[in-house]
Amino acid sequence: MERTYVMIKPDGVARGLMGEVLSRIEKKGLKVVAMKLAVMEEAKAKEHYAEHAARPFFPGLVSFITSAPSLSLVVEGRDSIKIMRAINGATKPAEAALGTIRGDFAMDTGRNIVHASDSLEAAEREIKIHFGNDKILEYKRSDDAYL
Ligand code: RTP
Ligand code: MG
């Protein structure tokens, strides 16, 4: 089953939006199989955003992501990577459709509440960075999809 890494960024936690975001994930039918509330270590933030290391916003991004607690999730389900990106909406809140998390709740690109892996390779890489050898749960939901 496809898994993706999702983060409720420090702005989402600080604004009290953890429940709102989790609710959208759960109600869609995706399964949360791991969850961790923590202040991200700087080394992990740099590794996580390594693709942006040369960009001017990188230092600010790393310092923001490590400034306060964020909620890390592993989310599972068929096509979970694509579905989570759709739930989050476009990176820039002005381009994010209403009905998406960023479209409904965000105003700034640098404070856009959520992250989700953008490919299978990224998902595997990011789950390893943030959950290492931690246990990923297996359980049934009453609405688990059948093939
Ligand atoms: P994310 O990685 O956080 O899920 O967001 P994304 O894929 O939609 O966007 P990405 O291009 O990967 O950018 C990563 C995060 O960096 C911040 N950013 N700031 N100031 C800027 O121009 C700028 N551009 C990007 C955003 O917080 C973005 O989510
Ligand atoms: Mg990204």
Query: What is the distance between the alpha carbons of residues 91 and 142, in angstroms, rounded to a whole number?
Result: 33
Instruction: Identify which of 110, 122, 117 has the alpha carbon closest to the alpha carbon of residue 85.
Output: 117
Token pair of 121 as six digits: 């390779």
- What is residue 86's predicted lDDT score, i.e. its pLDDT? 98
**Local confidence band at 145 (pLDDT 50, 70, 90 cut-offs):** confident
**Which candidate in 48, 52, 115, 130 is catalytic?**
115
Q: Where are the alpha helices (DSSP H) in 67-107?
A: 80-88, 101-105
Which is the closest atom of ligand 1 to the Cα of 51? Answer: 12
pLDDT score of 147 more than 60: no
Residues with CB under 6 A from ligand 1: 52, 57, 61, 91, 109-110, 112, 115-116, 118
pTM for this model (two decimals): 0.96
Mean residue pLDDT of the chain comes to 97
Average pLDDT over residues 128-141: 95
Cβ pair 99, 53 in contact under 8 A? no
What structural domains does the chain harbor? 3-131 (3.30.70.141)
Local structure of residue 95 (DSSP, 8 states): G
ipTM of the complex: 0.91
